[in-house]
Amino acid sequence: MARAFNSAVKSRRPLVPPALAGLLFLALLLALVEFAVRADIIPRLVVARPSDAIAGLVTLQNRADLRDGFLITFRMTAIAMVLELLVALPLGYFLFRRRDFALAYSGWLAALFAAPVFLLYPLFLVIFGRSEITLIIMGFLPGVIPLIIQVEQGFHGVSSTLINVGRSVGVTAWQNFWKIMIPAAAPSIFTGFRLALIYTLINIIAIEYLVDIGGLGRIVADRYFRFDISGTYTAITAVAAISILFNWLIGRLERWVRPT
């Protein structure tokens, strides 16, 4: 009897699927804000009407060249990511092979991971000026740390059986690294890659916003400094949507590389 009741409860489907309910909830929230702004309950100088912010997405392309902004940010992120991989793969492998160095540096890496590394940007601004090099370095620094940590952990997780099999068939150190270690540690390395990509993107957009150079971050700063309230909200919506899409794509890719 109890089992029958439990299975009935389990099989009971909600009236509205949660994903749809979430969308309806979001729409209701936006409608409430729209009403509050139109009725002057919330001042228009503080919050833009959601309808204006969404409609502005079309005109934002003409006013601030969203596509160009995206391409600039994307290019900076891609260059920083390549540099991160070039540094983190050998360094992570080195830390995996040398336990003494791993023990010496792991605490420092963890502390740096939590530290506000973006504060270093005024120093790089002084050295390299308001240039793309500053953006790339500021994307590289916060991204490379989690990548090194994950690469090292990935190598630690490689089964000793695989390494022993490699040894028994006489693979060279180079073959061992590329044919055994890297493929076996790939899932963990990809987790590090995803983390690094998110940190790199966030920091590049942050510096673009603060220094008013580059791509997506600059567009938000530009609209705000012009006191274009509706344009600011539109730019924020656009940048948030792009980074959400970006994160979603990375998540999908990770699930493909690392099926659970």
Residues that bind other proteins in the complex, under the rule CB under 8 A: 14, 18-19, 21-22, 25-26, 45-47, 99-101, 103-105, 111, 114-116, 118-120, 122-123, 125-127, 198, 201-203, 205-206, 209-210, 216-217, 220, 223-224, 229, 232-233, 235-236, 239-240, 243-244, 247-248
Q: Nearest approach, Cβ of 169 to other proteins (angstroms)?
A: 32
Whichever of 74 and 177 has its CB closer to other proteins, that residue is 74
**List of residues 6+ apart from 114 with CB closer than 8 A:** none
What's the closest the beta carbon of residue 232 comes to other proteins, in angstroms?
A: 5
**SS3 sequence of 176-245:** HHHHHHHHHHHHHHHHHHHHHHHHHHHHHHHHHHHHCCCCHHHHHHHHHHCCCHHHHHHHHHHHHHHHHH
Q: How far is CA 85 from the centre of its chain?
A: 16
User: Which CB sits closer to other proteins, 116 or 259?
Assistant: 116
At 106, the amino acid letter reads S
CB of 245 to other proteins, least distance (A): 9
Residue 115 backbone zone (phi > 0: left; psi -120 to 50: alpha; other: beta) = beta
**Least distance (Å) from other proteins to the CB of residue 101?**
6
Give 82 or 103: the residue with its C-beta nearer to other proteins: 103
